[in-house]
Amino acid sequence: MNLKITLATGLLALATVACSAETSVKQATNTPHKSAAKVGAPVTVELVSSGQTSKNAKLPLMLLFKTDQPNVPLHVEYRTDAGLSLITVGNAALVSNQDGVVTDTPNVRAAEDGVYQLNVFVTIGDRTRAVSIPVTVGNAKPVLKSAGKAIQTPKGENLTILPAQETSR
């Protein structure tokens, strides 16, 4: 356990030094700091229902979009991974209700059993959020993706190195 804490503390210190060095260079060059990525649109996307399906069958995916404001226009674009095709239109113009909620039900179809992704891009104003919805067709087993890299220490302890996320102040 102490090794985990030591490694985590070391990684945190290294990240802090790297961020400080980057800030010092930017201040020295007098270049204004602009983040490479904008903050995503203030919306969440949830899969509410999907039926059991088999290959070549139509699968309706009921999606719930939640915002923090009522009557917000949302522009939604659907894209599929290889092997999964979109049956309905790939774009939708939605408006949230008084509670900031709206639903949409795109239909997809897969030629083979498997686990696919429906990629949902939601734009509110000039901000966009991308969400991947897993779609299981047939008897395929979902594959869980690890967010980090699993390693084992010389003492046999299992560690997962997680990616860092930069925040702006």
| Tens of pLDDT, residues 109-119 | 998 888 889 99
pLDDT of the residue at 79: 94
Q: Which helix (H) or strand (E) holds 121?
A: strand 114-124
In tens, the pLDDT along 9-59 reads 544 444 444 444 443 333 333 434 344 445 678 899 998 887 667 788 889
pLDDT of the residue at 146: 53
pLDDT of the residue at 4: 52
Q: How many CB atoms lie within 10 A of CB 135?
A: 23
In tens, the pLDDT along 134-163 reads 888 887 666 555 566 777 778 777 666 766
pLDDT band at 95 (very low <50, low <70, confident <90, very high): very high
pLDDT of the residue at 145: 56
pLDDT of the residue at 165: 59
Q: Which residue has the higher pLDDT, 56 or 91?
A: 91
Say which residues have a Cβ less than 8 Å from residue 45's Cβ, sequence separation at least 6. 63, 64, 65, 120, 122, 129, 131, 133
**Fold observed for domain 43-137:** Immunoglobulin-like (2.60.40)
Strand partners, 95: 73
Mean pLDDT of 67-84: 93
Q: Which helix (H) or strand (E) holds 159?
A: strand 158-161
Nearest alpha carbon to residue 77 among 28, 143, 136, 128:
128
